[in-house]
Amino acid sequence: MSSVFQDAIANLLSPIGDLLKDPSVSEIMINGPFEIFIERKGLVYRVPNKFLDDESLMASMRAVAQSVGRIIDSDNPRLDARLPDGSRIAVVLPPMAKGGVTVAIRKFSEEKLGLKDLINFGSLSPDGARFLDCCMYLGKNTLVSGGTGSGKTTMLNVLGGRMPKTQRLLIIEDAAELQIKAEHVVRFETRKANSDRGIKEVTIRDLMESALRLRPDRIIVGEVRGPEALDLLNAMSTGHDGSMGTVHANSPDGACTRIETLCLMGETKVPPATIKKMVGDTIQLIVQCSRYHDGGRRTSHISEVLGIDVNGRYIVRDIFRWVQTGKEADGKLIGEMVPTGYIPSFFEDFIANKLPFPKTNFKPPEWATAHFKKAA
* Reduced 3-state DSSP string for 75-97: CCCEEEEECCCCCEEEEECCCCC
Residues 263 and 329 in one domain: yes
pLDDT of residue 2: 47
Asked whether 214 and 186 are in contact (CB, 8 A), the reply is: yes
- Output phi, psi for 38, to 5 deg: -130, 160
Residues 15 and 82 in one domain: yes
The Cβ-side half-sphere exposure at 267, using a 13 Å CA radius, reads 1
Nearest Cα residue to 173 out of 214, 124, 228, 131: 228
Residues 292 and 229 in one domain: yes
Q: What is the DSSP string of 118-145?
A: HHHTTSS-HHHHHHHHHHHHHT--EEEE
Count structural domains, the chain: 2
Query: What pairing do the DSSP bridges indicate for beta strands 78-82 and 88-92?
Result: antiparallel
pLDDT of residue 9: 55
CATH number at residue 13: 3.30.450.90
pLDDT of residue 80: 86
CATH number at residue 208: 3.40.50.300
Q: What is the DSSP string of 149-160?
A: TSSHHHHHHHHH
Residues 246 and 290 in one domain: yes
Residues 12 and 119 in one domain: no
Final residue in a domain of this structure, among 106, 137, 164: 106
- Output phi, psi for 105, to 5 deg: -115, 110
Residues 97 and 155 in one domain: no
- Non-local (6+) Cβ contacts of 352 within 8 A are none
Residues 129 and 211 in one domain: yes
Q: How many angstroms separate the most distant Cα atoms in the chain? A: 66
Final residue in a domain of this structure, among 58, 75, 106: 106
Domain that holds residue 200: 115-375
CA distance 304 to 320: 10
pTM of the full predicted structure? Answer: 0.86
Asked whether 92 and 80 are in contact (CB, 8 A), the reply is: no
Final residue in a domain of this structure, among 106, 123, 142: 106
Residues 148 and 70 in one domain: no
Helices (H), 270-365: 272-282, 347-352
Residues in the chain where the model's pLDDT stays below 70 = 1-12, 110, 375-376
CA distance 224 to 232: 9
* Tens digits of residue pLDDT in 5-39: 455 556 668 899 899 889 899 899 999 999 999 99
Residues 161 and 66 in one domain: no
Query: Mean pLDDT across the chain, nearest whole number?
Result: 90
Residues 95 and 120 in one domain: no
CA distance 357 to 179: 28
Residues 228 and 370 in one domain: yes
Residues 39 and 136 in one domain: no
